[in-house]
Structure 1
Amino acid sequence: MGSGSSTPRQKEAKPKTKSKSFRFHYFDGKGRGEVVRLAFVLAGLDFDDVRHTAEEWANMKQTGEFTGPFRQLPWLELEDGTTISQTRAILRLVAREGGFDGDTNLDAAKADEITDAVEDIKDAFFTTIFEQDEQKKASLEDEFWDSRLPTRLRQFEKLLEMNNGGQGFFVGKAMTHADLEMFSLLDMLESSSKERDLLGMLGAVPLVKAHKERVSNHPKIAEYIKTRRDTPL
């Protein structure tokens, strides 16, 4: 899954935004937004972390205040007023701005592949969180924790092993947005589902477990984790 023979991209072929300020709008929690915050941190870009309560967000939509292109969170506002919605679109923009979206077109595609696969798991997890029917909720939770998540973690374990024996990152030799996406998933599950034995589950996928620690120990990420708001979800 490394660079292989894929032709390196010319990094400046697509000029950066030149935006000196970014306002990132999301709820006051990790959810779908934390991976973007991590990307800003890794990129070394200043950004306003605008956090909305559920009540504030509902009121903004009711009063007609601008709430992004699709009236949903998250969304990003650039210095010139340009707005971008959708988590993965924002994440990939920040990764390109920071130069960690993969060194080649193939690496970029591989990073996107992993990012999208992680988002699939996040979608399944959020379904368990927001299900209102208690019986169905219990069934969804059991299916997620007993089958879907372990299966996907084993798949990620194999993908890690294919790149440098799993001793580094998912793609190439340096961290990409795929690594941040994976870390954000495990970080959220660990803090929001303490009754589940996530650490025990990670024992079956040692490369994934070590990867989580590797990302969290990056100096910029480690400093952010120490000072960020403590939210379970």
Structure 2
Amino acid sequence: MRYELYYWPGVPGRGEFVRLALEAGGADYVDVGNRSEDQGWGIAAIETYLGGEATDFPPFAPPFLKAGELVISHVANILQYLGPRLGLWPGDEAGRLWAHALQLTITDFTAEAHDIHHPLGVELYYEDQQEEAAQRARQFINERLPKFLGYFERVLIDNPSGERHLVGESLTTVDLSLFHMVEGLRYALPNAMAEAEQEAPRVIALHDRVRESPRIAAYLASDRRLSFNEEGLFRHYPELDLDG
């Protein structure tokens, strides 16, 4: 099957969670928003689906995946579909449910990371909510970041199959997603992450193993890998970071 990934062009964002799975699974896929130098074409293709013109089941927002006749939205939902098809999902029911639960926790983590720079709403510019963003960033750095990283550290410790993976004994989409969280937060909050990582050595070791896996290493070195920037999910505003 050739998959089609629909996400806004020019930013890794939430689409990167899906790209990483497709790359790690060696899938044949098209990144619709970025396959042409004409970004307007990619945006128009996305909006065709959002408006219900191309499917009876229109997504609320990207990312969404077209797989044959199926249109699947939401990162956790997409990865639950792709995981077993790409060999990146546990084989037993308990493991599958656990992996999905962890992915939903990463969804919460993602939302809180985004809200650092847009605490009042996405319809406002960062500059319109900068004071509130500074308050949210302090709360995230002091409380939520160590809580999330500490949780995944404990999950790795408690994995009956060993500390190399979050679920089972082989790479899953959840490992890939946690890798992206670490990458994004290192970009957005380098000082805060340098401190927080000291309390989560297993999370960082997992990140490094994912980065060095052959398919992911090749992807990161390719022009398919999009750079972080101040238009996406993870944004670097120095004034929001520790000692910024």
TM-score range, shorter chain: 0.7 to 0.9
1:229 to 207, 226, 229: 226
Cα deviation for residue 165 of structure 1 reads 8.1
Which residue of 2 is the match for residue 163 of structure 1?
A: 159
The question of 1:117 aligning with 2:98 is answered no
Give, as a single letter, the amino acid of the residue that structure 2 aligns with 1:72.
Answer: A
The residue that corresponds to 2:132 in the other structure is 136
TM-score (norm 1): 0.81
The percentage of aligned residue pairs carrying the same residue is: 25
Closer/same/farther in 2, CA of residues 50 and 191 from structure 1, 3 Å limit: farther
Give the direction of change, closer, same or farther, for the CA distance of 1:21–1:110 in structure 2 (3 Å limit): same
Structure 2 counterpart of 1:206, from 177, 201, 204: 201
Equivalent in the alignment of 1:187: 183
Aligned residue number for residue 61 of structure 2: 72
| Aligned-partner SS, 2:6 | strand
Q: CA deviation at 1:71?
A: 4.2
Output one character per residue of 1:72-122: Cα deviation in whole Å (capped at 9) or x when no partner: 11111223x431111111111111211221121111111112111111111
Unmatched segments (≥5 aa) in structure 2:
120-127, 235-244
Q: For 1:146 and 1:23, how far apart are their aligned partners in 2?
A: 39
- Separation in 2, partners of 1:30, 1:114: 21
Please list the CA deviations of residues 16-66 of structure 1 after superposition, one character each: whole Å capped at 9, or x if unmatched: xxxx21110112212211110010011111110122669974896499584
**Residues 1:105 and 2:101 aligned together:** no
SS at match of 1:133: helix
Corresponding residue number in structure 1 for 2:238: none
The structure showing larger relative contact order (alpha-carbon pairs under 8 Å, at least 6 residues apart) is: 1
In structure 1, how many angstroms separate the alpha carbons of the residues matched to 2:54 and 2:194?
38
Structure-2 change in CA distance of 1:48 and 1:171 (3 Å): same
Whether the aligned pair in 1 keeps the contact of 2:152 and 2:203 (CA below 8 Å) is yes
Instruction: Name the TM-score, length of structure 2 as normaliser.
Output: 0.78
Aligned residues: 212
Q: Give unmatched runs, 5+ long, in structure 1.
A: 1-19
How far apart are the structure 2 equivalents of 1:108 and 1:21? 24
Task: Specify whether residues 189 and 44 from structure 1 end up closer, same or farther in structure 2 by C-alpha distance, changes over 3 A only.
Answer: same
1:44 alignment partner AA: G
Contact 1:166 1:207 in 2 (8 A): no
* 2:71 matched residue in structure 1: 83
Report if aligned partners of 1:26, 1:51 keep a CA contact under 8 Å in 2. yes
Offset of 1:221 from its aligned partner? 0.8
**RMSD of Structure 2 on Structure 1 (CA):** 2.6
Question: What does residue 21 of structure 1 align with?
Answer: 2
